[in-house]
Amino acid sequence: MNEGRVEEFTREIAALKTSGAKGDTEKRLLALGSLLMIAGVVLAVIGGVQVAGTTNAADQMAAIATGGLLGLVLAVVGAALFLRYSIGRFMRFWAIRLIHEHRSETDRVIAGK
């Protein structure tokens, strides 16, 4: 009985006619978020080193503006992208698993009557 439900579920998914490109885009944006986080941290560290390496106030402000703040912005945007797409992937997996468990439980209850 369970094999029939699995086949029905597979047919229903195939009938949705979703494009496979969405998964590729999601993976790319997840990787982009990771790279932006790393680049942001590296840029912030470089800005901090530049600030520590000079005593001129104007040079310190320029290094903070270009290195520190831009690095912080990149790290925050990267973290947001990473969290959005990693949590989205997990929630889809969780929903599919929950649907499968509920269908299996329904089959078990129906078979028990």
pLDDT(21) > 60: no
**What residues does each domain of the chain span?**
24-112
The token pair at 55 is 């005593």
The span from the CA of 68 to the CA of 64, in Å, is: 5
Q: Residue range 78-98: average pLDDT?
A: 89
The span from the CA of 61 to the CA of 69, in Å, is: 11
Q: What per-residue confidence (pLDDT) applies to 66? A: 78
The span from the CA of 48 to the CA of 33, in Å, is: 22
Q: What per-residue confidence (pLDDT) applies to 53? A: 80
Q: What per-residue confidence (pLDDT) applies to 20? A: 56
The span from the CA of 32 to the CA of 94, in Å, is: 24
Predicted confidence (pLDDT) per residue in 96-107, tens digit: 889 989 988 888
